[in-house]
Amino acid sequence: MTISTAAATVPGYVAGTWEIDPVHSEVGFVARHMMVSKVRGRFTSFSGELVLGADPLQSSATATIDLTSIQTGNEQRDQHIRSADFFEVDKYQTMTYRSTGVRPEGDHYILEGELTLKDVTRPVELTLELNGFGPDPYGGTRAGFTATGEINRRDFGVNFSATMETGGVVVSDKVTLQLEIEAVLKA
């Protein structure tokens, strides 16, 4: 089936309940470091569900991310991010996202939702691109999505601050979210 909306035509669109495949998905982020470069990180443990409506604008998404699974390519930095300076994983082990709406914008969608981190819930919009739908070699059906967004970490109580002699900061407040999601249609 092909669904046409104000935003786009989605070939092969399949309504239903989809489970995020963590093996073929990535939940990541980018933050500026020392005002001169960007550090990338990802979470290796997460789960989620997408419910795609017959009308894509009636769809929803939920996800849970295990904050202890952070990987930035440097174990010392990962331990620091797990500490009370950042995620405080001894007290807050997960971050969650729950969508509250979907709207078309140009040739993509905006997924409106609420992100909860360290018991702080704030609205977060994700720009959503539908990458495609199709069969897999196991008799199932898969779908792919790319989502990006931006948060201010301080809005969620992640307040670590270290300034440099030049007046810049060690870690930016702005964090870019980058998600590549592959989901499997539930039977």
Mean pLDDT of 99-123: 96
- Residue ranges making up the domain that contains 156: 2-185
pLDDT tens digit sequence for 114-131: 999 999 999 999 999 999
CB proximity list for 77: less than 8 A, separation 6 or greater: 39
Q: Which residue has the higher pLDDT, 163 or 51?
A: 51
Lowest mean pLDDT among 7-11, 62-66, 132-136: 7-11
Whether the pLDDT of residue 143 is over 60: the answer is yes
* CA quadruple 147, 24, 65, 74: dihedral sign: negative
Mean pLDDT of 91-96: 97
Residue 40 belongs to domain with CATH number: 2.40.128.110
pTM of this prediction? 0.88
Please state the domain count of the chain.
Answer: 1
* pLDDT confidence of residue 161: 65
* pLDDT confidence of residue 6: 41
- In b/e form, how buried is each residue of 43-54, taking b as 16+ CB within 10 angstroms? beebebebebee
Lowest mean pLDDT among 58-72, 143-157, 160-174: 160-174
Predicted confidence band at 35 (pLDDT cuts at 50, 70, 90)?
low
CB proximity list for 133: less than 8 A, separation 6 or greater: 10, 11, 12, 13, 14, 141, 142, 143, 144
Q: Are residues 97 and 62 in contact, defined by beta-carbon separation less than 8 angstroms?
A: yes
